[in-house]
Structure 1
Amino acid sequence: MSTPEHHEEEPVTKNGFTDPGLAHHRPRRADVEPKADRRAERQVAALFGLSALGTIIAIWAYFGLDAGDGSDVDAVHRMNLWIGIGVFLAMVGIGFGAIHWAKTLMRDHEMVEERHALRTSDENREAAIQNLKDGVTDSGLGTPDEAGTGVKRRSLLKGSLITALAIAPLSVLVPQIGNMGSDWNISKFRHTMWGPGVRLTRDPDGSPIKAADVTIGSVFHVIPEGLNDLEHHEKMAEKAKAVVLLLRLNPEDLKIQEGREDWSFDGVIAYSKICTHVGCPVALYEQQTHHLLCPCHQSTFDVSDGAKVVFGPAKRPLPQLPISVDDDGYIVAQNDFDEPVGPSYWTRLKGDSTTEATSVEEESH
C-alpha cells in the first residue's frame, strides 16, 4: 500500500525577495493548562498587591516614623529609607505585574497585515477590528465573544490593577503635600556664616590660613571658622552655603571689579565654591588660564575677571567673598557675600545678579 507523498509549501517570492512566513506558533503553558493560567493570574495579582503594599509602607513611614526636627540624622535616614522602599515596591510592583500579564496571559499570536492602498476593503477593516477585539478579550479585560464561548473576565486582575494604579501615586504625593507646611523661609539662602572678622580656615581640619601661606597659583578649599563646632546636621547645612575657594594670582593679572577695589589682598582672592548653574562644587582650577571649571556641566569661570562665566550653562559669576588680613596675618572675611550663593531661585529679580525681591530684603531686615 502506497503512502501519499508529503509536499512542503513553496515559499512565496515577491520582487526577488523570499517571504519566510511566520514561525509555527508555540502555545504557552497558560494557554493549554487551566492550572497554569490560574497560577499566572494569581502571580500578576500578587505583584499588583505588592505595589499597593509599597504605597502603604511609604505612607506609614512618612507619618509613623518620627524624624523630629531633622537634627537626628539616623532618624531622618531611617524614615527616608522606608519611604524609598515603599515607593520602590509601589512602582516595581505595577511594572513587573504588567510585564508578567503581557507575557503569560495576553494574546501572543503573530499577525501580519500586508500593506495595500490607503483605503482598505471593508473585509480587511472588519478583520483588523476583530483582531483588536480578540486581543482585548484574550487580555481578560474584554467581554465574552459574540459566539458566546464565554472567555472569562479576569476580575481579580482588573481589581488589583485598578487598586495599585489608584493608590501608587500617594506614595509620592503624600510626602510632598505634607511638606507644604514646612519652613519655607528662603532668606536662609541669602546669608552664610561669613561675617566681619571671621577667619578663613582649611577644609576639613579648620586650621586658619595666613596670607603668607597662599602662594601664587595655589588653591585652598575654605570653610568659615567655627563651622566644625556645629552639630552635624547644622554643620552640613551651613557648609553647603559657605564653602569657598581661595586663590592667589599675580596682582597684574587681576581685573578689579568696580566697587570691589578692597575685596582682595595682594592677589589673594576668594570666591564661592557653589556653581551658579545647579549648585555643584566648582573645584578644578587651571592656573595658566585662571579658569575655574565645574565638573558637572562644564561651566567655566574666569577668576581673574570677577569669576565671570566664559563657557557653559551658568548665567551668573561666582559670588566673591570680600577678604582682608588681620593684625596676626590671618585672612579674614570683611563681610558676608553681597548676594545669595548658588543657583538662582524664585525671589531673585530676573536678569539681576545682585538684587533680590523686596519680600526677602524685608525679611532679612
Structure 2
Amino acid sequence: MTEQHNPSTDVSTTSGGQQLETFPDPGVPEHKLRMADKDPKAAKRAERQTVVLFVISIIGTIGMMVAYFAIRPDGTTVGTRNANLALGLGLFFALMGIGLAAVHWAKTLMSDHEHVDERHDVRGTDEVRAAAIAELKAGAEDSGIARRPVLKGAVVTALALFPLTIAVPLISSVGGDWDISKFKHTIWRKGTRLAIDPNGRLIKAADVTIGSVVHVIPDVPEEERRSHEWITEKAKAVVLIVRLDPADLKESEERKSWSHDGIVAYSKICTHVGCPVALYEQQTHHLLCPCHQSTFDVADGAKVVFGPAKRPLPQLPIAVDDEGYLIAQDDFDEPVGPSYWGRLK
C-alpha cells in the first residue's frame, strides 16, 4: 500500500535527486492575544509608555543642542572630556528614546498577526500594486496612530527634532577654520628634546634599553603646556621610540642618520583613522594598532605588514645632544595621521 502525501503540506529534503526526509509543514502558529489586545487599560498604559520614550528622545535632542552651544571645549583635558560627555549623553538619549519607543510600540500596540505572502514577479500587476497600497493603509490603521493623537505628536516631534543632532554641528562648522596646512606640521623642531609622556621627564639615550618602548612628547615650557592649544598640538606630536639591535634595522640610505644606535622614533598616530599605535611585540618588532589591527614593522621603516592602513608611520629623525639627551633633528618628514583632502603623500 502506497502512502499518499499532500504536496501543499509536506516538505521534503533531497540530495542528488534522492529523497531523504519528508515532514509536515507546521504552518503558521496559532495567534495569541497580547494584554493590550484584551485590556483597553493595558493598551492605554502601553501608549503612555511609548509616548514617554519618545519624550525622552526629544529631551535628549534638546539637551544635546544646549550642550553643544553651552559647554564648549576650553582646551583643557577636563573641559574637553566634559563637553564630549554632555554631547554623548544627549545623543544617547535621543537615539535610545526613538529606538526603545519604536520597539515597544511594535510589540504592544501594532498588529502582530502573521501573514504569508507568496513570491511573485518584481513588478506586480496594477491590481497587486493597488492591493499593496491597501495593505499599507491597513497597516497604518493597525498601528493605531490615527486614533492616538498624543502618540502621533510624540513620534513626529521626536523624529523631526533628531536630525538637528547632526545638522546643527555641521551647519555651525561652516565658516570655521579649514586651514589644512596646520595638518602638515607639528611642534617638533630642530633641537627639541624628547620627554616622557605624561610626566615630561627628559630622556637620555643611555636610559633606553634594547626592546624597551617609551611614549614621548616634545619638551616645551610649562606655561605652554597650560595653554589651550597644547592638547591639539600634543595630539599631533605624540611619538613612540623603540630601541632595537642596530643589526636588526633595515634603513634606507637617506634615513640612516635618523636613528641613534638602534633607537628609532615614529608617530603614534595610525595612518588609517588616527588611533594610537602603542602595542609593541618585541620578537617581531611589530607595532599594532588596537582599533583595526593595522600592523607596522618598526625594524623596516614602520611599513605596513597587515591591516587596512596604507602608509607607513611617519618617522621623527632623532639625535643626541652634548648632554646625552635625545633630541629631534627636525619635524616629521610628512604629515602625521590619516589622509585628508589636499594631501599629496
Match of 2:217 in 1: 223
Find 1:330's aligned residue among 316, 325, 328: 325
Match of 1:60 in 2: 66
- The code of the aligned residue for 1:61 comes to A
Distance 2:173 2:304 in 1: 35
Is the CA contact 2:76–2:231 (under 8 Å) kept in the aligned structure 1?
no
Find 2:46's aligned residue among 37, 40, 46: 40
Are 1:138 and 2:132 matched, yes or no? Answer: no
Is the CA contact 1:200–1:222 (under 8 Å) kept in the aligned structure 2?
yes
- The code of the aligned residue for 1:51 comes to S
Is the CA contact 1:245–1:272 (under 8 Å) kept in the aligned structure 2?
yes
Is the CA contact 1:274–1:281 (under 8 Å) kept in the aligned structure 2?
yes
TM-score by length of 1: 0.75
38 and 59 in structure 1: CA distance in 2 versus 1, 3 angstrom threshold = same
Are 1:242 and 2:237 matched, yes or no? Answer: yes
- The code of the aligned residue for 1:297 comes to H
Are 1:176 and 2:167 matched, yes or no? Answer: no
- The code of the aligned residue for 1:212 comes to A
RMSD: 3.5
> 1:259 is paired with a residue of what secondary structure?
helix
Match of 1:205 in 2: 199
Distance 1:315 1:337 in 2: 18
Is the CA contact 1:228–1:235 (under 8 Å) kept in the aligned structure 2?
no
Q: Which has the larger radius of gyration?
A: 1
**Cα displacement (A) at 1:40:** 2.8
Find 1:155's aligned residue among 149, 152, 169: 149
Percent sequence identity is 61
264 and 140 in structure 1: CA distance in 2 versus 1, 3 angstrom threshold = same
**Cα displacement (A) at 1:116:** 8.8
> 1:198 is paired with a residue of what secondary structure?
coil
Are 1:293 and 2:297 matched, yes or no? Answer: no
> 1:314 is paired with a residue of what secondary structure?
coil
Match of 2:246 in 1: 251
Is the CA contact 1:227–1:235 (under 8 Å) kept in the aligned structure 2?
no
Q: How does 1:100-111 map to 2 (within 5 A)?
A: 100-111=104-115
194 and 106 in structure 1: CA distance in 2 versus 1, 3 angstrom threshold = same
Distance 1:116 1:343 in 2: 47
Is the CA contact 2:50–2:151 (under 8 Å) kept in the aligned structure 1?
yes
Distance 2:326 2:51 in 1: 66
Are 1:283 and 2:289 matched, yes or no? Answer: no
290 and 228 in structure 1: CA distance in 2 versus 1, 3 angstrom threshold = farther
**Cα displacement (A) at 1:225:** 1.4
Match of 1:164 in 2: 158
Is the CA contact 2:190–2:330 (under 8 Å) kept in the aligned structure 1?
yes
Distance 2:233 2:128 in 1: 70
176 and 258 in structure 1: CA distance in 2 versus 1, 3 angstrom threshold = same
Gaps of 5+ in 2: 1-7, 12-21
Find 2:311's aligned residue among 310, 316, 333: 316
**Cα displacement (A) at 1:170:** 0.7
Distance 1:55 1:116 in 2: 42
Are 1:87 and 2:91 matched, yes or no? Answer: yes
Match of 2:17 in 1: none
Is the CA contact 1:198–1:333 (under 8 Å) kept in the aligned structure 2?
yes
> 1:260 is paired with a residue of what secondary structure?
helix
Is the CA contact 1:206–1:228 (under 8 Å) kept in the aligned structure 2?
no
19 and 85 in structure 1: CA distance in 2 versus 1, 3 angstrom threshold = same
Is the CA contact 2:193–2:327 (under 8 Å) kept in the aligned structure 1?
yes
- Report the count of equivalent residues: 326
TM-score by length of 2: 0.79
Deviations 1:24-64 (A, max 9, x none): 4333333333333333333323332332232222222223x
Distance 2:23 2:236 in 1: 68
